[in-house]
Structure 1
Amino acid sequence: MKILIVEDDTNIIEILRVALSEKYYLVEVATDGKKGLEQALATAYDLIVLDVSLSIIDGISICQQLRNQGCCIPILLLTEKDNIAKTITGLDAGADDYVLEPFNLEELLARIRALLRRGMISTTPIIQFGALLLDPRCGQISYQGKILPLTAKEYALLELLLRNSQRIFSQSSLLDHLWSLNEIPSENTVRAHIKSLRSKLRKAGAKADLIETVYGFGYRLNTKELEIGNVQPKIMGTEKPIHSIKADEESDDRLLPTTDSAIEQRIKSQLAGVWERYQDKYSDRLAIIKQAVKYLLENRLTEDLRQQAQQQAHTLAGSLGTFGFDNATCLCQNIETILKSTETLGQTQAEQIQMLLLELQKILEQNPTLIPPQSDVQATYLNQEYRLLIVDDDLELAQQVAAEATIAGIETVVAESISAARLAIAHSRPDVVLLDLCFPQSPEDGFTLLAELTALHPPIPVLVFTSQDSFTERVKVARMGGKGFLQKPVFPSEIMEAIATILQQSNTSSAKLLIVDDDPQILDILHTILQPWGFTLTLLDDPQNFWDTLEEFIPDMLILDLEMPNFSGIDLCQVVRNDPHWSNLPILFLSAHRDTQIVQRVFAAGADDYVTKPIVEPELLARVLCRLERSQIIRKFAEIDALTGITNRRKSAQELTRLLHLAERQNQPFYFAVLDLDRFKYINDQYGHDAGDQVLSQLGKLLKQSFRQEDVVARWGGEEFVIGLYGITQQQVVKRLNHLLDSLRCLEFTTSNQENFTVTISAGVAEYPKDGHDVQTLYRAADAALYQAKAAGRDQIFLSAMN
């Protein structure tokens, strides 16, 4: 299948080229509308992927011209999210489908498959020609049940012949169908591929040359094969996908067994490489926008530079989301909107763009989310110990799910009946329950237990999975408080993903809340309402002690009374919002006032929510949980390193500075450690970057296990990590670090090729105030000690020589 991509964004081109090539599609590219139209008219393509906003000739005009000239090639439009008018115009012009930018790669590939199916004679996927069988859904061709080890080009050649079994293809025709314009193969290349295909078919058992040479004309399938298979050529449905085999294009010897999931993983891996290669180009695009802001502040912004900056913002909005930077898309669209404004740009707009660029820079410091950690599910659990109760009489499925949960570090109990589930819950309360609704051998069904679990205080989250799938039952589960609904049959991995989502949501109940109210009775009421939900509470009745309590407790949310002596809730809120470290902390106000002006003052001061007294328990809980969940999502993108699950450099620098100030005020010790994986480049070179990512992910989990919640644990880049420890002795620091080194030595990593290896880590430690009074000087001292540890043989800890 040959696909033409008409797109002017080189990053999107590379993304599509990687993804489509992995699916055996032949890809050609045009980087402007004029070239795209010329190629579309000159070459027979199976599909055109067409950007709406193109230079020289736009996508809609291309669509109209192709349709006016009788071209029936399916066209898929790529269009901006907020440009529905253009989308409608494009469909009216003859486009077959569209995808909004930034696009979801899986959705885009699915739409491409759908359009290609529409262009075929039949929509059913499997083609059989005698004993030869093509299953394009899993990318395999077999002969008499034996899978043929084909290269991508051999696969495409044989597929073309199978789809056109009565047609003779000349060598030049095969070159046109199977090679792109950028490739310059000779007719000898065709003959070499035909020869290789015949050889592989004979090895699989074909007694005659299945690919027949028609002298003077070209090649076609040999109809004698139909006699061997004793059937007519046909296209049919498939029973089940099996493994496919794919080889490197240039060598038949480098064979790689491939499943659909492996292909998707490889696509993600290659896209991560695309991001690394084009990261500098994104920086260049941002530089143009920054230059435009600078000139705007200096009142010398030209119209040309303004348009350039607008175009760069538009391009970034279209492609960053594809790499996993969803929030970046929104920010870039806002920048584009400001620059597109017909109003005269001034100081206010420049400051708005500066703020958006600052947020954008923070997001781009994170790793894109194209490649999940070694286990998506495992990374979601934040390294806590969870208990899962599976209630199902299908023991085989229950045990499969239990095995997946154990790998993710979740303690699992299986109950075959409702009564057994009640006993298990009485013995140990689970964090989540996976519940089947149907128990034919019992007078009770799953709804009975669901009602009991959701009526608890606090309720236990329940994920329902059942073979029944009526809308009435779905509504009933939702009304009773179920957190999810899955229909059997379902893969254990899908179940674990749903469980991960539920556990992530339930993490909000372990948050730390600082409540400030001068009324002891209100504090007691709030304690009674919130404490059973698992929140860690600090109750403060004197606002004069607010700041010290805030810095020592480090809450996830503030609940403030509006009117208090000395300092009002608005005073406290404004102080928090003025400090960069606390400016994003969720703040909820309590007040008996319902006056509109007072409510406006509260929100103007920076409040996130407002609850009136007397307090209604369900309303308060709903607002607290909702605000915490949103805060967690924002914090995850802004502060957490995606691969290791620990704090990133920007956030940790703030935390370290705060602990240093606290150590100074409280006259407490503070230690700063720098850790570095030994010979990490060798691991990447020897075992591959996937193995390196596996090491980094596992080390992140070990670090979270080995240190206290109040310690700062962060990844500063590559294989370098830092730790800040407050209020602890030197002996305790060394003991904790040695424990980390011992734990890491015991871990054995396994590559995809079943090679086993172990890793070690070295560390350097500096002490405040002996080795420095700020993060930078402490880092230098600890880094010097780290290099001493490396020089001394690695896998050890060195204290700063200044100690």
Structure 2
Amino acid sequence: MPRSKQCDAQEQLSRLRAQFLKRLPVELNSLKAIAENLTKPGFDVAALNELHHRLHKLSGSCGTFGVPALGEAARILEIRLQAWLEDRSGEIDDKIRQSIVKEIGALKDVIQPTENQSDASLAMASDMPIDKTVRVWLIEDDAAFEQELVRQLESFNFEVHLFKSIRDAETAAQFERPDLLIMNVRLHRLSEQDSILLQDRITLKSLDCPLLFVSSTDDFNSRVRAARLGAEGYFVKPVDITILINRMMHILEKRRAPPQRVLIIDDDNDLAAHYQLVLAIAGMQAEVLQQPEAVITKIANFRPEIILLDLHMPNFTGLDLAGVIRQYDEWSGLPIVFLSSESDLDIQILAMGQGADDFLMKPISDAQLIAATRARIERARRLTSLITKDSLTGLLKHASIKEAADLETAQAQRNGKPVSIAMLDIDNFKLVNDTYGHTVGDNVIASLAMLLRQRLRHSDIIGRYGGEEFAAVLAECDQDDAYRLLDDIRHQFANIHFQARNQRFNCTVSIGLADSAHFPHLIGTELLTIADNALYQAKREGRNRTCIARSIE
């Protein structure tokens, strides 16, 4: 999030807190008025329910807005009222009524606002630039490995800077930052001496980028020390550079992933707005649902990756909503986290058995809210990736890319914007497998996948259609732009050198292209077929070319 927007969000958080504290005396007077009715003959049970619900909201929000003592006092009263409501005898002792009225009246004396600066700023989203050139810093003294790695990285449009020591890199970091750092373990003394390890940790932290280690040794202690330095990968020489680059791409894509989407359902509007701002500061896209009965429509349109759901709400409880959501197959795996001040363990367990994935207690700190939400979404994304993505390339599987093609073409038809679909196939791939083996063939496939992920836009959707064949869906991209982009990828792939059995060789790719402007009434899977026909035209015309489908044959 840009700094100006971060400041605006922090100011909004401060305003929310000020508004809450300003309204608090009015709310306490209202609670007192409702409570006084309890001492009258024939008191209204509906009023008792309202009192319980409002105390529940108060206990959940006070800690967030800087009056934790009041929140705890409200929680104690809420628990007592809950027991009262569950008493089926209908006989309530007058002394108990008078005691509750007195305690509710005394809530105003518990207001002691504390300094409650939002700690959301501690977890702000990275402003890592999303450009086509990725800056890789390499600290390595093995000349042969260094030369080959640089050559391969530059083939994928990485900008490589070489350093002989970590101190040289630290000096350069005063003027720019790398997107990723690769280090030779032997050069950088993964020592057991805590003082040296601490110094290296401080130095590496100042670079603020993902770290990968390469090493000639593979022992547990070295890996532990690398982990303590924050390494996200450890590669043992001789390194398969294709696998190394593939890990680099996964790391960079994770850092540049689209904002995590969070749906908040809570009848406490101030608290919901606070959560929304806190998550926005952390780089997430959060929306609040005000009408619970519209939950399914909202989920279908917003497609959240997690739902933060209050347990006790009027008209519809959190359990009601979770039950409805779980009735739909497409949302059966959507993470639902109850966020409630409910302290009864039995009720929490009941909630977890009704479709929830977790239960968080209010009040919750900003940092805990961010960490819990982010961790849950990242786990869900990893699971989705395992289900929908090909393990070799990290691209969508056959069925998923076909589904994406249908979704994107349907949206393009609604919006009146173009979409282009391409099919790509590595030329003479069987010869590569027969000559060099399937492991080398896998490296060729992975290399084209990495090139596609690097050269195409973040909004484009790429899949491994099968074997050495790929599909790409380019939203809001017309035929001419798609042709220029894909034909450039074709040229780039032809320039990549592969090494096997002391031989260097190159591969080429043929591409077929179709767009919605020339086939406006076709769905995505039909456009894939048209693009596939154009691909085979490219094969017939001699391979290593891009052909455009202009009409149905």
Q: TM-score, normalised by structure 2?
A: 0.56
1:482 to 229, 240, 246: 229
Q: Which residue number corresponds to residue 141 of structure 2? A: 396
Which residues of 2 match residues 624-663 of structure 1 at below 5 A? 624-663=373-412
Q: Which residue number corresponds to residue 201 of structure 2? A: 450
Paired residue type of 2:392: L
Cα distance, 1:800 vs. partner? 4.2
1:615 aligns with 2:368: no
The alpha-carbon distance between structure 1 residues 577 and 672, as it changes in their structure 2 partners (threshold 3 A), is farther
1:762 to 511, 518, 522: 511
**SS of residue paired to 2:451:** helix
Paired residue type of 2:532: D
**SS of residue paired to 1:762:** strand
1:799 aligns with 2:549: yes
Cα distance, 1:433 vs. partner? 7.1
**Alpha-carbon deviations, 1:130-157, whole Å to 9, x = none?**
xxxxxxxxxxxxxxxxxxxxxxxxxxxx
Preserved CA contact (<8 Å) 1:763 1:785: yes
Cα distance, 1:704 vs. partner? 1.6
Which residues of 2 match residues 768-779 of structure 1 at below 5 A? 770=519, 772-779=521-528
**Alpha-carbon deviations, 1:5-62, whole Å to 9, x = none?**
xxxxxxxxxxxxxxxxxxxxxxxxxxxxxxxxxxxxxxxxxxxxxxxxxxxxxxxxxx
Paired residue type of 1:777: E
1:741 aligns with 2:490: yes
Q: Which has the higher contact order (CA 8 A, sep 6+)?
A: 2
Paired residues, number: 403
Preserved CA contact (<8 Å) 1:402 1:412: no
**Alpha-carbon deviations, 1:484-519, whole Å to 9, x = none?**
5999x9747499989987996786554431123353
The alpha-carbon distance between structure 1 residues 470 and 491, as it changes in their structure 2 partners (threshold 3 A), is closer
**Alpha-carbon deviations, 1:270-302, whole Å to 9, x = none?**
xxxxxxxxxxxxxxxxxxxxxxxxxxxxxxxxx
1:428 aligns with 2:176: yes
**SS of residue paired to 2:141:** helix
Preserved CA contact (<8 Å) 1:766 1:779: no
Cα distance, 1:398 vs. partner? 9.4
**SS of residue paired to 2:450:** helix
Preserved CA contact (<8 Å) 2:135 2:160: yes
Q: Which residue number corresponds to residue 728 of structure 1? A: 477
Q: Which residue number corresponds to residue 513 of structure 1? A: 260
Cα distance, 1:584 vs. partner? 4.0
2:306 to 558, 561, 569: 558
The alpha-carbon distance between structure 1 residues 593 and 661, as it changes in their structure 2 partners (threshold 3 A), is farther
**Whole-angstrom distance in 2 between the partners of 1:680 and 1:603:** 51
1:527 aligns with 2:276: no
Cα distance, 1:641 vs. partner? 1.8
**Whole-angstrom distance in 2 between the partners of 1:752 and 1:540:** 56
Cα distance, 1:763 vs. partner? 0.6
What is the identity percentage for the equivalent residue pairs of Structure 1 and Structure 2? 27
Cα distance, 1:634 vs. partner? 2.9
**SS of residue paired to 1:396:** coil
Preserved CA contact (<8 Å) 2:516 2:522: no
1:541 aligns with 2:288: yes
**Alpha-carbon deviations, 1:233-281, whole Å to 9, x = none?**
xxxxxxxxxxxxxxxxxxxxxxxxxxxxxxxxxxxxxxxxxxxxxxxxx
The alpha-carbon distance between structure 1 residues 704 and 438, as it changes in their structure 2 partners (threshold 3 A), is closer
**Whole-angstrom distance in 2 between the partners of 1:753 and 1:471:** 32
Q: Which residue number corresponds to residue 677 of structure 1? A: 426
**Whole-angstrom distance in 2 between the partners of 1:483 and 1:731:** 44
Paired residue type of 1:396: D
**SS of residue paired to 2:306:** strand
Preserved CA contact (<8 Å) 2:134 2:159: yes
**SS of residue paired to 2:390:** coil
Preserved CA contact (<8 Å) 2:426 2:509: yes
Preserved CA contact (<8 Å) 1:713 1:724: yes
The alpha-carbon distance between structure 1 residues 728 and 694, as it changes in their structure 2 partners (threshold 3 A), is same
Paired residue type of 2:509: T
Cα distance, 1:774 vs. partner? 3.5
**SS of residue paired to 1:797:** strand
Which residues of 2 match residues 67-86 of structure 1 at below 5 A? none
The alpha-carbon distance between structure 1 residues 573 and 553, as it changes in their structure 2 partners (threshold 3 A), is same
**Whole-angstrom distance in 2 between the partners of 1:719 and 1:620:** 43
**SS of residue paired to 1:710:** coil
The alpha-carbon distance between structure 1 residues 448 and 687, as it changes in their structure 2 partners (threshold 3 A), is closer
Preserved CA contact (<8 Å) 1:540 1:546: no
Preserved CA contact (<8 Å) 1:713 1:721: yes
> Structure 2 stretches of 5 or more lacking a match?
1-130
**Alpha-carbon deviations, 1:381-419, whole Å to 9, x = none?**
xx997656567xxx7369956864774566555666665
Preserved CA contact (<8 Å) 2:210 2:232: no
Cα distance, 1:648 vs. partner? 0.9
Paired residue type of 2:405: L
**Whole-angstrom distance in 2 between the partners of 1:495 and 1:781:** 36
Paired residue type of 1:608: D
Q: Which residue number corresponds to residue 108 of structure 2? A: none
Cα distance, 1:793 vs. partner? 4.2
**Whole-angstrom distance in 1 between the partners of 2:331 and 2:350:** 20
Paired residue type of 1:558: I
Preserved CA contact (<8 Å) 1:508 1:625: no
**Whole-angstrom distance in 2 between the partners of 1:723 and 1:593:** 48
Cα distance, 1:732 vs. partner? 2.5
**Whole-angstrom distance in 1 between the partners of 2:233 and 2:548:** 53
**Alpha-carbon deviations, 1:73-107, whole Å to 9, x = none?**
xxxxxxxxxxxxxxxxxxxxxxxxxxxxxxxxxxx
**Whole-angstrom distance in 2 between the partners of 1:572 and 1:791:** 57
Cα distance, 1:761 vs. partner? 0.5
Q: TM-score, normalised by structure 1?
A: 0.41
> Structure 1 stretches of 5 or more lacking a match?
1-382, 532-536
Cα distance, 1:649 vs. partner? 0.6
Q: Which residue number corresponds to residue 456 of structure 2? A: 707
Cα distance, 1:749 vs. partner? 4.0
**Whole-angstrom distance in 1 between the partners of 2:498 and 2:373:** 41
Paired residue type of 2:359: Y
Paired residue type of 1:710: S
**Whole-angstrom distance in 2 between the partners of 1:685 and 1:494:** 20
**SS of residue paired to 2:472:** strand
Which residues of 2 match residues 15-26 of structure 1 at below 5 A? none
The alpha-carbon distance between structure 1 residues 470 and 732, as it changes in their structure 2 partners (threshold 3 A), is closer
Preserved CA contact (<8 Å) 2:263 2:307: yes
1:781 to 512, 530, 543: 530
Preserved CA contact (<8 Å) 1:437 1:446: no
Preserved CA contact (<8 Å) 2:494 2:506: no
**Whole-angstrom distance in 2 between the partners of 1:461 and 1:425:** 14
Preserved CA contact (<8 Å) 2:423 2:528: yes
Cα distance, 1:699 vs. partner? 1.7
Q: Which residue number corresponds to residue 134 of structure 1? A: none
Cα distance, 1:611 vs. partner? 3.0
Preserved CA contact (<8 Å) 1:464 1:482: no
The alpha-carbon distance between structure 1 residues 426 and 720, as it changes in their structure 2 partners (threshold 3 A), is same
**Whole-angstrom distance in 1 between the partners of 2:443 and 2:528:** 26
Q: Which of structures 1 and 2 has the bigger CA Rg? A: 1
Preserved CA contact (<8 Å) 2:137 2:182: yes
